[in-house]
């Protein structure tokens, strides 16, 4: 059976750049109308939209801080007024490193909250909002980082690793709870992806996460 995406409507959080932008452009290539979400970087979101339009698809940009549940609700209200409904929701946004990147003994409670709220609470609030717009079934996808939440080897990842693990758990509960409505819920775990915030990590951490090796080095992050 051939599945066509043409004419479907999607919202991708964090699609001003990085992996979210890639998802937005790939969906646009398949005729999907795309809501491009950003936080601070309006120019980048406009650039994504221009690239969506170059692919003969339509869309709009919408700003929201996913740490603020009322912002999330406002974002979905905009989607409702622009598209009238939603077929695909991708939860992809993630705060910048300084907002959460600290080892277990040093992470502040604000950093912990930024990690957990941006992934677990934001996914909970967003998935519920998305479902209200998915009257004919739909697809909900959470972008996670499975390796980071399992190994514990990059110590300053503790907040984000724990947050992603909580989000993955939520994905399972929503998948069971929404199956009868024709809405699938899945997590996708990309590997190391260039041109992202990860490129700003210390070289040893980049090597560890990406699987690259350098001679004669110890990663201080592991100590
Ligand atoms: N990069 C990798 O190698 C990799 C690997 C596995 C999984 N992932 C996952 O893939 C997803 C995307 O990662 P990426 O590296 O492509 O991201 P990125 O390039 O760092 O972009 C982050 C995105 O999140 C938005 N954002 C930041 N803080 C926000 C906030 N408080 N509220 C709402 N949006 C916010 C940014 O908006 P502005 O542009 O407006 O700031 C931007 O669109 C993340 O969930 C990440 O954990 C990444």
Parent domain of 81: 9-198
In-domain check, residue 28: yes
Residue 214 domain-assigned (yes or no): no
b vs e for 164-191, b when ≥16 Cβ sit within 10 Å of the residue's Cβ? Answer: bbbbbebbeebeeebeeeebebebeeee
Q: How far is CA 22 from CA 28, 29, 193, 196, 209, in A?
A: 10, 11, 11, 12, 21
**Residue 203: its pLDDT value, please?**
81
In whole angstroms, what separates CA 223 from the centre of its chain? 29
Q: For 179-217, where are the alpha helices, taking DSSP H only?
A: 203-210
**Which of 11, 14, 160 most suits a substitution to test ligand 1, by most atoms within 8 Å of the C-beta?**
14
> What is residue 92's predicted lDDT score, i.e. its pLDDT?
98
Q: pLDDT tens for residues 95-144?
A: 999 999 999 999 999 999 999 999 999 999 999 999 999 999 999 999 99
219 lies in some domain? no
74 in a structural domain: yes
In terms of C-beta density within 10 A (0-12 exposed, 13-18 middle, 19 or more buried), how is residue 37 classed? buried
Residue corresponding to tokens 């959080």: 13
Residue 212 lies in a domain: no
Identify the pLDDT of residue 151.
77
pLDDT at 217: 42
Can you list the residues of the chain whose pLDDT is less than 70? 1, 149, 212-223
Report phi then psi at 92, rounded to 5. Answer: -125, -25
Residue 208 belongs to a domain: no
Structure confidence at residue 1 (pLDDT): 67
Quick check: 13 and 21 in contact, CB under 8 A? no
Which ligand 1 atom is at minimum distance from the Cα of 119?
Answer: 45
Residue 221 lies inside a defined structural domain of this protein: no
Quote the ligand 1 centre to 58 CA distance (angstroms).
Answer: 23
Expressed in angstroms and rounded, the spacing between residue 18 Cα and the centre of ligand 1 is 7
For residue 161, report the distance from its CA to the centre of ligand 1, in Å: 14
Tally of domains in the chain: 1
Amino acid 197: pLDDT: 72
Nearest CA to ligand 1 atom 14: 18
The answer to whether residue 203 is domain-embedded is no
Pocket test residue of 94, 123, 205 for ligand 1, highest count of atoms within 8 A of CB: 94
Q: From the CA of 186, how far away is ligand 1's center (Å)?
A: 18
Eight-class DSSP state of 157: G
- What is the rounded distance in angstroms from the CA atom of residue 138 to the CA atom of residue 22? 20
Compute CA distances 92 → 76, 84, 111, 153, 160, whole Å.
15, 22, 18, 23, 13
Domain with 163 in it: what CATH number? 3.40.50.720
């Amino acid at each position: 059976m051939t599945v066509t995406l043409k004419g479907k409507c999607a919202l991708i959080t964090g699609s001003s750049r990085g992996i979210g932008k890639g998802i937005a452009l790939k969906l646009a290539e398949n005729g999907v109308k795309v809501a491009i979400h950003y936080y601070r970087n309006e120019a980048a979101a406009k650039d994504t939209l221009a690239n969506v339009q170059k692919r003969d698809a339509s869309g709009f940009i919408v700003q929201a801080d996913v740490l603020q549940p009322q912002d999330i609700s406002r974002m979905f209200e905009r989607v409702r007024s622009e598209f009238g409904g939603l077929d695909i929701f991708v939860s992809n946004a993630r705060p910048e490193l300084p907002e959460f990147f600290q080892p277990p003994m040093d992470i502040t409670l604000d950093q912990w909250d930024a990690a957990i709220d941006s992934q677990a609470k934001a996914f909970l609030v967003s998935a519920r909002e998305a479902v209200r717009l998915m009257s004919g079934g739909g697809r909900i996808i959470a972008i996670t980082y499975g390796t980071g939440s399992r190994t514990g080897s990059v110590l300053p990842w503790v907040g984000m690793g724990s947050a992603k693990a909580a989000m993955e758990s939520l994905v399972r509960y929503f998948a069971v709870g929404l199956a009868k409505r024709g809405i699938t819920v899945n997590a996708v775990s990309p590997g190391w992806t260039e041109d992202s915030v990860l490129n700003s990590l210390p070289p040893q951490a980049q090597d560890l996460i990406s699987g690259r090796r350098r001679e004669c080095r110890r990663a201080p992050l592991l100590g």
